[in-house]
Amino acid sequence: MVHSARSVASSRNRDRPPISIAILPLTTAVDVEDFTERLKLSLDTFGDVCVVASNSLPVSRSSAASEERLVEWLNERESHFRHVLYSAGGKDSRWLRRSLRQANRIFLVASATEPPNKTVARFRQQTPGFGASGQFKAATGRFHLVLLHPSGASAATNTESWLAAFPMVTEHHHIRPDRDADFQRLARSINHCLVGLTLGGGFAYGIANVGVIRALRELSISIDCVGVPVWAPSSALRAHSKSTARECWTS
């Protein structure tokens, strides 16, 4: 059954259109190169990945006069790769604007420990005119907020303040940069392959839940979200929290 589910997910993933993501660091504490590389490694599971940055040869050699040729080259990348990651960090404002226009998703990456209001001000400085022209409103569904948390964090906090500061965001993700499992979960989310587990209620189901969780772990199947009836035995929850808390770390 597990093998069949994986085969169906793989088949559906191949049929989906390519995904291009602009990665924009919102705070100075974000190492955009490291984040992009870690995300690339996790996305490799779902297909070929191409990373384009301001120092990529076709980008660094382009000019305002050759913008059309650059767009053609980027379109070609998107037709040959399952994922294209546009690293929009650095001081090249022209490449930043091109990345935001080119990508079909925009990842706003910020340190969760910094004040959201100050981050909004920096974002507006980074993208002058982008919001004023109404592109934020027209880009519904494109903006994702990625909050980076310290390695020792056990729970996501202050999420509501961040979402209030960036109302254009439609999805948000919590990442601990030192946890490969967090990047793998993000890659599954990007490809619509998250794994959910629904636990049954009642004593007999509660005992069975523990066995199911252990079996999934033995098969190296990560659990991204859990649904539990209010009357379900707490023993299954405790078993789950001890064995898969790192894999299920969400807001």
Residues 43 and 117 in one domain: yes
CATH number of the domain that residue 139 is part of: 3.40.50.300
- Kindly report, residue by residue over 101-141, the tens digit of the pLDDT: 999 999 999 999 999 988 888 888 888 765 544 454 445 56
- Kindly report, residue by residue over 159-188, the tens digit of the pLDDT: 999 999 999 899 999 999 989 999 999 999
β-partners of residue 227 are: 198
Average pLDDT score over the chain: 80
When mean pLDDT is compared across 40-49, 151-160, 197-206, the lowest value belongs to: 197-206
Q: How confident is the model at residue 16 (pLDDT cuts 50, 70, 90)?
A: low
Instruction: Give the best-scoring range by mean pLDDT among 16-20, 97-101, 143-147.
Output: 143-147
Residues 233 and 182 in one domain: no
> Residue 51 domain-assigned?
yes
Domain boundary among 170, 190, 210: 190
Residues 112 and 224 in one domain: no
Residues 186 and 121 in one domain: yes
User: What is the extent of the structural domain holding 72?
Assistant: 16-190
Write phi, then psi, for 152 (nearest 5 degrees). Answer: -85, 0
> Residue 11 domain-assigned?
no
pLDDT at residue 8, rounded to an integer: 44
> Residue 4 domain-assigned?
no
Residues 184 and 217 in one domain: no
Instruction: Please give the tally of structural domains in the chain.
Output: 2
Residues 205 and 185 in one domain: no
> Residue 111 domain-assigned?
yes
pLDDT at residue 197, rounded to an integer: 80
For residues 64 and 108, what is the distance between their CA atoms, to the nearest angstrom?
A: 25
> Residue 227 domain-assigned?
yes
Residues 130 and 169 in one domain: yes
For residues 12 and 31, the model is more confident at 31
For residues 131 and 77, the model is more confident at 77
Tell the residue number behind the tokens 């209001």, with chain if given. Answer: 117
pLDDT at residue 180, rounded to an integer: 93
pLDDT at residue 130, rounded to an integer: 58
What string of DSSP letters covers 158-209? -HHHHHHH-TT--EEEEE-TT-HHHHHHHHHHHTT---EEEPPPSHHHHHHH
Is the entire prediction scored with pTM above 0.85?
A: no
Domain boundary among 190, 209, 236: 190
